[in-house]
Amino acid sequence: MDSSSISSPNCLPNMDKMWQETIDWCPTAQQQSQLQSLYSEVVSANQQLNLTRIIAPEEFWEKHLWDSLRGVGDLINHPLELKVIDLGTGAGFPGLPLAIARTDWQMTLVDSTAKKVGFIEYIAPELGLTNTHPLVSRIEALGQERQHRHQYDLALIRAVSSANVCAEYTLPLVKVGGTAILYRGNWTDEEATSLELAVAKLGGEISKIDRFTTPISDSIRHCIWLHKTTDTHPYYPRAVGIPTLKPL
Confidence of residue 20 (pLDDT cuts 50, 70, 90): very high
- What is the pLDDT, as a whole number, of residue 47? 86
CA distance 217 to 140: 35
The model's pLDDT over 68-104, given as tens digits with 9 standing for 90+, comes to 999 999 999 999 999 999 999 999 999 999 999 999 9
Q: In Å, how far from its chain's centre is CA 166?
A: 12
The model's pLDDT over 122-167, given as tens digits with 9 standing for 90+, comes to 999 999 999 999 999 999 999 999 999 999 999 999 978 899 999 9
Is pTM beyond 0.85? Reply is yes
What average pLDDT does the chain have? Answer: 94
Largest alpha-carbon pair distance within the chain?
54
- What is the pLDDT, as a whole number, of residue 9? 59
The model's pLDDT over 193-246, given as tens digits with 9 standing for 90+, comes to 999 999 999 999 999 999 999 999 999 999 999 999 999 999 999 999 999 999
